[in-house]
Amino acid sequence: MQITENYLSLPSNTLQVEDYLYQHHYSPESIESTISATGITSFHVCDSGFTHFCIQTFQCLINDHNVNFSSVGSIIVVSQSFDDRIPSISTRLQKLLELPSSTFCIDVIDGCSGFIKALNLAKSLLESSCEEVLIVSGDLNSQLTINSHPSTRVLFGDGISVTKIQRSPSLFQPQILLFNDGDNSDKITCSFSENTLRMNGFEVFRFARTEVPKLIKIYLRNNSLQYNYFDVIILHQASKLVVDAIVKKMDRSCNPSLYFNCSTIGNIGAGSIGSWVALSSDFPLHTILKALVVGFGSGLSWGLAEVNFNLNTNTTIYV
């Protein structure tokens, strides 16, 4: 299983965190400390619904970037900001891309570890008769955070990643681990009736700082691996504070690719792995890289996947 193409799609409109916090009567000192901790200086904001944004994204990829989707045998859409119950976005995209009716389509409601779950589905599909899987993942968080506390809203941006996954020509078989711990304490919540995301920042921080380093260390130990076995280790882009805390609890020989690089887009949920890749200017094309990708967040859930990157295309588009 290898990732061959990666696109990050962002709305054209942006919101500056400094301006937003100033409008909410934050002092200059508070604004500075907030931006320093989160690492987020701006994020993109969409003025349409999630379905429309997804369709616009694919129209742009087809018409303006000449992307060919004819080999796709399955479409997986992962998001927490679906705006329509029926029909599914995955089937709408199947129709738009003129794929056969036999195309396996599924919408998955999930957040920050959703990309790992999608990889697990993709692995199963590729092991059967499917040759190429398309994962569409991400959120229009601004529609869920418009009434949230400012300290929560400035963490989450709008955007989706579009990722093509194919069978690996080698015998490489990815390993995927997934865990859940039901969030009955309401650490991260957003009901359909209120449509307002609420988050206990301290509890979420403690969860990520505790569980994620433990998961990575156990995985390495059980497979007799060292950090430098991987060419790249990609953490879900929750915030600079969270990423830095996880890295500090890991071995000092960590791969230097571990960092927060989404300062201009924020956390886009399940799309954050794809966004990390798209925003990494030193991510080489036409080169096989062994990667460990780690997701964690709402659920509560956390997981990791070992996957190869062999990118032909890696770019950002604006819709």
Per-residue pLDDT, averaged over 101-114, amounts to 95
Confidence of residue 115 (pLDDT cuts 50, 70, 90): very high
Range with lowest mean pLDDT among 96-100, 290-294, 298-302, 303-307: 298-302
pLDDT given at position 172: 60
Sign of CA dihedral 135, 161, 245, 182: negative
Indicate the residue type of 65.
H
Average of per-residue pLDDT values in the chain: 92
Q: Is the peptide bond before 279 cis (omega within 30 degrees of 0)?
A: no
pLDDT band at 19 (very low <50, low <70, confident <90, very high): very high
pLDDT for 283: 82
Q: What CATH number does the domain located at 1-319 have?
A: 3.40.47.10
* Per-residue tokens: 299: 């659920």
Q: Which of 31-45, 93-107, 114-128, 200-214 has the lowest mean pLDDT?
A: 200-214
**pLDDT given for residue 257 in this prediction:** 66
Report the pLDDT value the prediction gives residue 171, as an integer from 0 to 100. Answer: 59
- Quick one: pLDDT band at residue 39, thresholds 50, 70, 90? very high
The tokens of 10 are what? 């962002």
Whether residue 223 has pLDDT greater than 80: yes
CB < 8 Å & 24+ apart, contacts of 203-208: 204/238, 204/242, 204/297, 205/241, 205/242, 205/245, 207/296, 207/300, 208/238, 208/242, 208/245, 208/246, 208/296, 208/297, 208/302
CB 165 within 8 A of CB 119: yes
Please state the domain extents for the chain.
Answer: 1-319
Instruction: Determine the pLDDT at residue 175.
Output: 86
CB atoms within 10 A of CB 82: 18
Distance separating alpha carbons of residues 174 and 15, to the nearest angstrom: 38
Query: Would strands 301-318 and 188-189 be described as parallel, antiparallel, or unpaired?
Result: unpaired
Query: Residue 191 above 70 pLDDT?
Result: yes
What is the pLDDT, as a whole number, of residue 256?
57
For residue 258, the SS3 value is: coil
CB-count exposure of residue 177 (10 Å: 0-12, 13-18, 19+): middle
